[in-house]
Structure 1
Amino acid sequence: MRRALLALVLAASAVPVFAADATLGLPPLPSPPAAQVALGRELFFDRRLSANGTLSCAMCHVPEQAFTVNETRTSVGMNGVSLRRNAPTLLNVATVERLFHDGRAASLEEQALQPLVHPDEMANTSAAAVVARVNALPDYRVPLRQAFGSARATPQRLAGALAAYQRTLLAAGSPFDRWHYGGEAQAMDALAQRGYAVFRERGCADCHTVGARHALFSDGGFHNTGTRARSESLGEQPVDVVLAPGVTTQVTPETLRIIGVADAPDRGRHEVTGRASDLRAFRTPSLRNIALTAPYMHDGSLATLDEVLDHYVRGGWPADPAQDPRIRPIVLDAGQRRALMAFLGALTSPSALPPSRMDTGR
């Protein structure tokens, strides 16, 4: 799957690995202080910030994988627990106003410490415990002083530094951006240009917005696309398991619950607002670098972009009465589908490959 996605990206772009302008197509964004960025980078890759010293932020947001995780539907947390939701990419997270799939954090600073104290993620008992651990590490004294004028960590300083680093993870300047905003007529090929027309004609741009001067490819809103109801329904059906080549057996949901762990309930944005209209609604993800961020949807239940298109061609999951009424069946012939896939590949920033940093292993 990973190889196929990379082939799609390379076919869409003939530019060098690193683009001259990774911000082309994004709105103007302030540059965070360099010393805070440097400190935030160290914190992001440091496993010592987790309760048992085994997990870092970068292990759920892997730089080599566009700051998400490709191998599993959802990330693996403390002591091997499967987390409830897919790890969203951090590329261009500076443009996101409400963080997490359910929008429960209003800023990167508010978001930054939550994984550190979540019992299934980095599992610290409190932000104060993280601060005490950082203050006991002598190698953080100079970076803290350079970033904040004091060698002492506080929750606000740790959150500010992590947020500063994440604001530098910009990856635009894609073939689409160079064609649409940069005036380079040959930057995006004819097939992808046709795919952009299909994208607009079929209503995809209603939620994955494209502006006159920049494109976030997200309306920032929360919508029920039928994904959660689909996953719950399929979870109650038997599955075929391959035992050997040509030999399969059917496993019932009851058996699966004995040998595995069922997905935790997830009401989406409703868990934050309590509004009935937000039931099973999740934040619209940006489509930027989408070819690099499989698997898809909030629960990672769709493994490929082809599966995502199949979901929307079918009209989502119409059996869910709370599904957004804008999700309706889409008619696509084979040529239109190829063109749409080429367009999605053309949204990949050269700056997304390769990663800017590897895990230090601490």
Structure 2
Amino acid sequence: MKSQVELGRKLFFDRRLAFNNTNSCAMCHIESQGLTTNQSATAIGMEGRSLSRNAPALYNVAYQTSLFHDGRESDLAQQAWAPLLSPLEMANPSIGHVVDKIRALEDYAGLFEAAFGGHQASMQTIGDALASYQRTLLSGNSRFDRWYYGKQQDALSPEEKHGFEVFMGKGSCATCHTVGEKSALFTDDNFYVTGIGYYNAIGAGPRVSKVELAPGEFIEMKHEDMKSFSAPRINDIGRFALTLDPKDRWAYKTPGLRNVELTYPYMHDGSLSTLEDVVAFYDKGGIEHDGERVLKPLGLTDKEKADLVAFLKSLTTPEDQAKHAGYR
């Protein structure tokens, strides 16, 4: 229902949902930044606290069977409560505190009742409203779609078409970022180990990070120089924390690739800044995990790498490109 979507959007952008009235959902999932946050590798929460993971983009979240990088939620309405109650994110002390706060706000008077058949704000209706809005965050009108599904042959350049061949073949990208006969979410909703989580856990991660000072303007900073103002990295064991299955240690969900050009930085921890970095990472076979290399090197040529990146940029929709252009 339109009224539920509008109410959900109001909640999504409302900073009063945070305990100290400063954070909203939209401050980590920024509309003009690919529904994520381009300036920081990991999300920033309550009072500037650093979270351990990159804010995932929300495009086509309505079709995802699991949510968060570790897949710990399966329902959008239920998922909404995790950031509201997380002490690192919006830091509310309880569900009841959030419900009572919203019920007391004058500008919400009658909105829940109108949207939900007389039912006032509650754990269920607040989650349902946020989920209704997030289900409208769709992406599927890219040049790739017009070429592959719409049979518009001139929608992609020869380089982009060759990049798609690499994506489906030698690059092995489609093994996890699946492409269907009638539609493509570019994710199989499964969980995999690439080595990045393990690498950081043992303290062998990169010693330098790229920091975006202005749209498109980066500098490199040594981690040693950032200690005085940056929180230490939290040991993130991935999906293992949920399943206790050893094979899930440092395993993370396959992200969708819609608008991937806009949703940098990449990987669960935002440790790769550009699509070129991501392609180079997989080309070399990821990183050894517990002494084993889980991914095999691809042996891509420079042209294959460049064309693969060009193809990935064809997954951007014009509407979202325009929004991002306003940010940049």
- TM-score, structure 1 as length reference: 0.82
1:261-306 deviation line (CA, Å, top 9, x unaligned): 2111111111111111111000000111110000000000111111
Of 173, 181, 203, the match for 1:204: 173
Q: Is the partner of 1:214 in helix, strand or coil?
A: coil
Distance 1:224 1:236, change over 3 A: closer
Q: How does 1:169-184 map to 2 (within 5 A)?
A: 169-184=137-152
The answer as to 2:21 corresponding to 1:53 is yes
Residue 260 of structure 1 and its aligned partner are, at CA, apart by 3.8
Is 1:135 aligned to 2:106, yes or no?
no
Q: What are the superposed Cα offsets for residues 105-128 of structure 1, whole Å, 9 maximum, x if unpaired?
A: 011111111100100100000111
Provide the TM-score with structure 2 as the length reference: 0.90
Q: Are residues 55 and 238 of structure 1, via their aligned partners in 2, closer, same or farther at CA, if it must alter by over 3 Å?
A: closer
Q: Say if 1:208 and 1:287, in contact at 8 Å, map to a contact too.
A: yes
State the match for 1:101 in structure 2: 69
Residue 258 of structure 2 is matched in structure 1 by 288
> Residue 82 of structure 2 corresponds to which residue in structure 1?
114
Q: Which residue, out of 49, 53, 77, partners 1:81?
A: 49
Higher relative contact order (CA 8 A, sep 6+): 1
Number of the residue aligned with 1:28: none
User: d(CA) in 2 for partners of 1:93 and 1:318?
Assistant: 31
Residue 348 (str. 1) matches residue 278 (str. 2):
no
Quote the offset at 1:353 in angstroms.
Answer: 3.4
Q: Tell me the residue number matched to 1:37.
A: 5
Deviation at 1:236, TM superposition (A): 6.5
Q: Deviation at 1:187?
A: 1.0
- Supply the RMSD in Å over aligned alpha carbons: 2.4
Q: Is the 8 A contact 1:224 1:322 kept in 2?
A: no
1:189 maps onto 2:157 in alignment: yes
Q: Name 1:275's counterpart in structure 2.
A: 245
Distance 1:135 1:43 in 2: 12
Residue 288 (structure 2) aligns with: 318
Tell me the alpha carbon deviations over residues 220-259 of structure 1, each in whole angstroms, 9 at most, x when there is no partner. 0000111112333555676599xxxxxx99876xx86676
Aligned mates of 1:237, 1:332 — CA distance in 2: 23
* Aligned 8 A contact 2:209 2:271 in 1: no
Q: Residues 176 and 249 (structure 1 numbering): CA distance in 2 closer, same or farther, change over 3 Å? A: closer
Q: Which blocks of at least 5 consecutive residues in structure 2 are unaligned?
A: 211-219
- What amino acid maps onto 1:139 in structure 2? D
Q: 1:290 touches 1:344 (CA, 8 Å); kept in 2?
A: yes
Q: Cα–Cα, structure 1 residues 138 and 355, in superposed 2: closer, same or farther, change >3 Å?
A: farther
**Is the partner of 1:282 in helix, strand or coil?**
strand
Per the alignment, residue 22 of structure 1 pairs with none
Structure 1 unaligned residues grouped into runs of 5+: 1-32, 242-247
Residue aligning to 1:163: 131
Cα distance, 1:249–1:322 mapped onto 2, change above 3 Å: closer
Aligned AA for 1:294?
Y
Alignment-mate amino acid for residue 337 of structure 1: K
Alignment of 1:142-157 (within 5 A): 142-150=110-118, 152-157=120-125
For 1:216 and 1:55, locate their aligned partners in 2 and report how far apart those are by CA, in whole Å: 29
* 1:230 alignment partner in structure 2: 199
Compute the displacement of 1:88 (Å). Answer: 0.3
